[in-house]
Amino acid sequence: MLKPTVGPIIGHTTTNHARIFLRGELHKDALVFAGIRYRPFGNERWSKGVFAQLTNVRDMSDVITLNDLTPDTEYEYQAGWFSPMSPVHTVESVQELPLQWPRDPYRFRTQSSQHATPRAYIVGSCRYLRMTGGVPASPRHGDRIFAAITHLAQHAEPPISAMLMTGDQVYIDDLNFIAPDREYSEILNKYRTAFSQPHIAKLMSSVPTYMILDDHEIEDNWPDNKSKSDSYLYKNALAAYELYQASHSPAHELLASGHVSRDLHRYWYQFAEGDIEWFVTDSRTRRNLSADNRRILDEEQEQALCKWLIHSPARVKFVVTSVMFYPDRKRLGDDAWKAFPEQRLRLLETIRTHRIKNVVFVSGDVHGSLTSRLTHSEDPDFEVHTIVSSPLCNSKLLPYAKASTFILDQPLAKTAAGDYRHELTSAVISEDNFAHLIVEAEHISVRYHDRKGKLLQSIQIKL
């Protein structure tokens, strides 16, 4: 067996289930299979192999599911791909072959079944990896921060439950003005290159990774900048996104057979861990820019989000939105929630009138990191927080955000019932960074680290 050409990437992981993405390679006209075997760390006996047939329709990639796992258990696994000699093999028959598995094992941990135990997460966004003629320029620059995240994850207590990558994991449009990538093969090559760099590959092989797209997975400020000829680009960009980012997410239903459904009806999804729940929104592809029904989330998604906010029993509710919920930018803010004030106000009023506690909006996008607090002038019980983490790697052509980037001297919204007022609760970080969140009984610790792992600042959000 050969090592995966991309992956393995640990995706959605629960107490007893894990999804693992991996890619092989087209091997002439021969059949190609990918396989994984696993065992609790320290055990001598491996499981039977779990296999999938790889085809060019899915760029020689697939997601293999591991089921009936044990909670809060560290597993090690081996993953690879191969072409059998016989042209008539099936997923069932290759289980009987005497395979030589790749020697180096990977590790991951299942969720704890304990309800009220501290949990930790990594949050980041905007990882720029410029490609020129299909070759990455200075790839170590775009990959180095993941070495620091991996080091932290290997020593963190409590263990890192997941990494949330909240948008712009790839820049399909990085050379739009010179040689834009529009062909499916070009976009796939960007994903393969971006996700196979050594440090990000090592991190994603061991830490469950949840992703959602933003504009650069398609085109800057999509769909505001959409032209008539962009339908071709959009189709290709989303097909690649579905393979490399959505395929291992909870957006795909788990079937009774233990496999994930091939059908994908939407990109937004939810997942839970103990008394913490996440709602990861698609704030990019379901936008309506018409004057009479302007919305950043489609109606179905807004209704699902409000229903979840009202009825979920979770103690802490994280809402991921790839673009900033608040504060608003003075310039270029119309690509974010600033341009959809009616829908934002509906969400805030839902939280306030239903007296929902411990709601935290998590986002990226702005190439600056911060935390902020939102209150209401006439309702002392209302409080919402936001955590922004961006960028993992900036382009030298793009500026970092600063405190002066944001509108901070006026209410976010004014209503007959009172004003929504906000304030920064941290300094604005203007360098490459990532966030380490620790959710405990009484507070959330937000620790921002630079590209080498050095602690930049630490903030506590009281629960």
Name the average pLDDT for the chain: 95
Task: Give the chain's largest Cα–Cα span.
Answer: 74
Q: Cβ distance 284 to 218 under 8 Å? A: yes
Residues 179 and 268 occupy one common structural domain: yes
Residues 351 and 315 occupy one common structural domain: yes
Per-residue model confidence (pLDDT) at position 179: 63
190 in a structural domain: yes
Per-residue model confidence (pLDDT) at position 130: 79
Q: Give the CA count within 13 Å in the CB-facing half-sphere of 207.
A: 30
Any idea how long the chain is? 463
Read off the pLDDT of each residue in 325-346 and give the average, rounded to a whole number: 95
Q: Is 381 exposed, middle or buried (0-12, 13-18, 19+ CB in 10 A)?
A: exposed
Q: Give the CA count within 13 Å in the CB-facing half-sphere of 256.
A: 0
> pLDDT band for position 203 (50/70/90)?
very high
Read off the pLDDT of each residue in 317-335 and give the average, rounded to a whole number: 94
Q: For residue 160, how far is the Cα from the chain centroid?
A: 14
How many C-beta atoms surround the C-beta of residue 345 within 10 A? Answer: 15
pLDDT tens per residue, range 83-119: 998 888 999 999 999 999 998 999 999 999 998 899 9
Q: What is the tally of structural domains in the chain?
A: 2
CATH number at residue 222: 3.60.21.70
pLDDT tens per residue, range 112-165: 999 889 999 999 999 998 776 677 777 888 899 999 999 999 999 999 999 999
Per-residue model confidence (pLDDT) at position 260: 94
* Tokens of residue 251, six digits: 């957006």
Residues 77 and 225 occupy one common structural domain: no
Read off the pLDDT of each residue in 283-310 and give the average, rounded to a whole number: 96
Global pTM reads 0.96
318 in a structural domain: yes
Cis preceding linkage at 118, omega within 30: no
> pLDDT band for position 176 (50/70/90)?
low
Residues 76 and 127 occupy one common structural domain: no
Residues 176 and 296 occupy one common structural domain: yes
Last residue of a domain, one of 109, 137, 163: 109
Q: Is 48 exposed, middle or buried (0-12, 13-18, 19+ CB in 10 A)?
A: exposed
Q: Cβ distance 181 to 190 under 8 Å? A: yes
Q: Cβ distance 315 to 352 under 8 Å? A: no
- The range of the structural domain enclosing residue 51 comes to 6-109
Output phi, psi for 359, to 5 deg.
-100, 125
Residues 271 and 293 occupy one common structural domain: yes
Read off the pLDDT of each residue in 319-331 and give the average, rounded to a whole number: 96
Residues 181 and 262 occupy one common structural domain: yes
Specify the higher pLDDT residue, 257 or 15: 15
Residues 127 and 193 occupy one common structural domain: yes
Q: Rounded to whole angstroms, how far apart are CA atoms 436 and 446?
A: 6
Last residue of a domain, one of 109, 139, 155: 109
Computed on alpha carbons and rounded to an integer, the radius of gyration of the chain in Å comes to 22
Q: Which residue has the tokens 């002066």?
A: 404
pLDDT tens per residue, range 24-43: 998 888 999 999 999 999 99
Last residue of a domain, one of 67, 86, 109: 109
Residues 152 and 301 occupy one common structural domain: yes
Residues 99 and 229 occupy one common structural domain: no
Read off the pLDDT of each residue in 193-200 and give the average, rounded to a whole number: 96
Residues 74 and 222 occupy one common structural domain: no
Residues 307 and 225 occupy one common structural domain: yes
Amino acid present at 462:
K
CA distances from 130 to 117, 182, 334 (A): 40, 15, 26
Q: Identify the three-state secondary structure at position 382.
A: strand
Read off the pLDDT of each residue in 238-263 and give the average, rounded to a whole number: 95
